[in-house]
Amino acid sequence: MNVRLVGIVAGCAAIVGLGSPSGASPAAPVPGAAGLLSRPGAQAGFAGFEGAGAVATMLRRQPAPVSPRTTPLLRRLRKGTISLGAQISYGFVRGSSELNDHFDTGLGYAFRFRYMLSSRAALGFSFENQRYNRRDGLPVSPTPFATDSQLVVTTVASEAVVFFHREREWTPYLLGGIGFASPNVRYDRKESRRVNEGPFLVAGAGVEKFVRPRFSLDFSLRGYGEVGNSELSMFSQISAGIHLYPGD
């Protein structure tokens, strides 16, 4: 208690001394102040005031806080990002059309482009060239298709793509869209014939595995339903490839 009282008296004395105008006579000593200052603990009170002043000086000398720099979003999460990819596919012919009666499976390739509408949705465009080989064991017949023929289906499609957990390395997605297919039967003697041309619907699912922030492995499974020449042709396709996200 005595130490606190001594500190208060010393502070008041300092304020009075600083506030006195120049040339003014020194203030009269406070009665009993000398005795208080001579008591044990007075030196500790003055040391406490000096320590507080040093702390205040250090606080005034510290630089102003700098707000942390905002981390930019990953390129694949930004609206307006344009990405491009390529895939190799293995397809199957199904359905009730005449194409299913003569052709079975085959390899193909596709180019895919996406425009990010938001961090989770994109508008996609696909250009595909899928080949199907003739079925084994077909009887030799010149009509309607020769046994040495091959079916080549060229498609163009617009797709809506919805992503899940886009910020993670493994990004699953669903897709659906509409397009136009041009099946073309090619013969060994370099002749061809276009059959069952018409619109189709596509639906599927896939997953991207990002090995770099702007480079991913892209795997997908798609199913197609095409109506042409009053016949329903169905195709399924397993694809694997890469996808790139160029930018700044």
HEC string of 114-161 equals: EEECCCCEEEEEEEEEEEEEECCCCCCCCCCCCCCCEEEEEEEEEEEE
28 compared with 105, residue with greater pLDDT: 105
The type of residue at 151 is: L
Closest CA to 109 of 124, 131, 93: 131
- What confidence tens digit (pLDDT) does each residue in 134-193 have? 887 655 555 555 556 889 999 999 999 999 998 899 999 999 999 999 999 888 767 778
Element spanning 51, H or E: helix 42-61
> Can you say whether the dihedral through the CA atoms of 71, 112, 174, 171 is positive or negative?
negative
What's the CATH class of domain 75-244?
mainly beta
Q: Say which residue the tokens 């930019």 belong to.
A: 72
pLDDT of residue 19: 47
Q: How far apart are CA 146 and CA 123, in angstroms?
A: 40
- Quote the pTM value: 0.67
pLDDT at residue 205 greater than cutoff 70: yes
Query: Token digits for 7?
Result: 């500190």
31 compared with 237, residue with greater pLDDT: 237
Residues in contact with 141: Cβ distance below 8 Å, sequence separation at least 6, in sequence order: 147
pLDDT band at 36 (very low <50, low <70, confident <90, very high): very low
pLDDT of residue 194: 82
Domain-by-domain residue ranges, the chain?
2-20+30-61, 75-244
pLDDT at residue 221 greater than cutoff 80: yes
- What confidence tens digit (pLDDT) does each residue in 5-16 have? 555 555 555 554
Query: Token digits for 173?
Result: 């997605």
Helix (H, G, I), strand (E, B) or coil at 197: coil
pLDDT of residue 59: 55
- Rounded-to-10 torsion of CA 116, 121, 125, 128: 130
Mean local confidence (pLDDT), 195-201: 90
Helix (H, G, I), strand (E, B) or coil at 190: coil
Q: How far apart are CA 215 and CA 245, in angstroms?
A: 6
Helix (H, G, I), strand (E, B) or coil at 244: strand
Q: How far apart are CA 128 and CA 238, in angstroms?
A: 13
pLDDT of residue 84: 96
